[in-house]
């Protein structure tokens, strides 16, 4: 038996996919984004709605959900259907590039600071030039990795410090 963690799966309803693709095309060449809403089915997230959240913090290379905007959008979706909940965030990339180091760091940070949201998903809608593809990432485990070790000398004295000037 393999002890490998199974590859995470993301189910996306066609209507959610087309909403993200339409938003990406409309916002081009700028980014846009929002939140992923849906349910868990057999422990796997199923995105049934992708809600676009307008943001002043967006441009050709960035998009950020305004602080405090997520909760009201989730509550509004839950008023329509109480089974729904927050599953993660999505945003578009006007070029054919996957999640940036910042995108992945934000996902990792969120996973730590929101322990009640199990394994949030990040979706990046990439423009391949020939259409849009859904690029989804999820952190399933945060495994501390063994670090290589290197022993170094002391930090050199700063030449501008009082000791360095002696």
Q: Which residues bind Zn ion (CB under 5 A)?
A: 100, 103
Comparing CB distances to Zn ion, the nearer of 15 and 100 is 100
3-state secondary structure of 127: strand
Name the minimum Å distance from CB 107 to Zn ion: 10
Name the minimum Å distance from CB 119 to Zn ion: 19
Comparing CB distances to Zn ion, the nearer of 67 and 149 is 67
> Does residue 132 contact residue 24 with C-beta atoms inside 8 Å?
yes
Question: Using CB atoms within 10 A of its CB, is residue 13 exposed (0-12), middle (13-18) or buried (19+)?
Answer: middle
R_g (Cα) of the chain, nearest Å: 21
> Does residue 142 contact residue 112 with C-beta atoms inside 8 Å?
yes
φ, ψ (nearest 5 deg) of residue 52:
-85, 135
Name the minimum Å distance from CB 93 to Zn ion: 6
Helix (H) or strand (E) holding 164: helix 162-165
Token digits for 109? 């940070």
Sign of dihedral through CA atoms 26, 30, 31, 34? Answer: negative
Comparing CB distances to Zn ion, the nearer of 52 and 103 is 103
Name the minimum Å distance from CB 95 to Zn ion: 10
Comparing CB distances to Zn ion, the nearer of 32 and 48 is 32
Name the minimum Å distance from CB 79 to Zn ion: 30
Comparing CB distances to Zn ion, the nearer of 39 and 139 is 139
Comparing every residue's Cβ against Zn ion, the nearest one is 103
């Amino acid at each position: 038996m393999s002890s490998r963690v199974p590859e995470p799966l993301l189910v996306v309803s066609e209507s959610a996919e087309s909403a993200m693709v339409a938003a990406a095309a409309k916002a081009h060449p700028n980014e846009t984004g929002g939140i992923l809403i849906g349910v868990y089915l057999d422990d796997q997230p199923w995105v049934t709605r992708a809600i676009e959240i307008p943001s002043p913090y967006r441009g050709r290379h960035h998009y950020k959900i305004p602080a405090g905007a997520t909760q009201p959008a989730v509550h509004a979706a839950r008023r329509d259907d109480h089974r729904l909940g927050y599953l993660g965030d999505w945003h578009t990339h006007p070029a054919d590039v996957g999640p940036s180091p910042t995108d992945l760091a934000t996902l990792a940070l969120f996973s730590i600071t929101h322990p009640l949201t199990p394994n949030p998903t990040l979706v990046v809608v990439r423009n391949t030039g020939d259409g849009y593809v859904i690029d989804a990432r999820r952190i399933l485990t945060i495994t501390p990795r063994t670090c290589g070790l290197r022993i170094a000398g002391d930090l050199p004295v700063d030449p501008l410090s009082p000791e360095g000037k002696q």
